[in-house]
């Protein structure tokens, strides 16, 4: 049996205002918000750009600034590979293909 998401009863998530089937809510909060609420703020992706300048966010959205490249650059500056393992600054720069 499949659920017809277009006709089944939906509610609005009280956190993000998305429309979700009633069965997937937890006290009016969608599954995504329920999961994210359990994540510490420093690991919560919704807070990643909270302190970021609006112009920089606009450039990311328009594709003129790569958030991925900046993340690679930061990992290289910390000496970590893509898994967050310490490999040293030079090796990390090579792995991520960034220059200082």
Q: How far is the CB of 66 from Zn ion (least distance, A)?
A: 28
Q: Does 33 bind Zn ion (CB under 5 A)?
A: yes
- 1 versus 38: smaller Cβ distance to Zn ion: 38
Structural contact between residues 49 and 75, judged by C-beta atoms closer than 8 angstroms: no
Q: Does 30 bind Zn ion (CB under 5 A)?
A: yes
- 14 versus 66: smaller Cβ distance to Zn ion: 14
Which of 8, 16, 39, 71 touches Zn ion by CB under 5 A? 16
Output the DSSP codes for the chain.
----TTTS-EEE-TTT--EEEGGG-BTTB-HHHHHHHTS-GGG-GGGTTTTS-HHHHHHHHHTSS-HHHHHHHHHHHHTB-TTS-B--HHHHHHHHT---
- 32 versus 91: smaller Cβ distance to Zn ion: 32
Q: Does 76 bind Zn ion (CB under 5 A)?
A: no
Residues found near Zn ion in the complex (CB under 5 A): 13, 15-16, 30, 33
């Amino acid at each position: 049996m499949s659920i017809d998401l277009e006709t089944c009863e939906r509610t609005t998530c009280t956190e993000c205002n998305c429309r979700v089937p009633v069965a997937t809510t937890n006290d009016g909060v969608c599954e995504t918000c329920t999961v994210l609420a359990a994540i510490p703020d420093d690991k919560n992706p919704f807070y990643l750009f909270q302190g970021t300048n609006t112009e920089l966010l606009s450039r990311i959205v328009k594709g003129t600034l790569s958030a991925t490249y900046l993340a690679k650059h930061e990992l290289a500056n910390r000496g970590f590979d893509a898994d967050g393992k310490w490999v040293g600054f030079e090796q990390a720069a090579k792995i991520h293909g960034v220059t200082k």
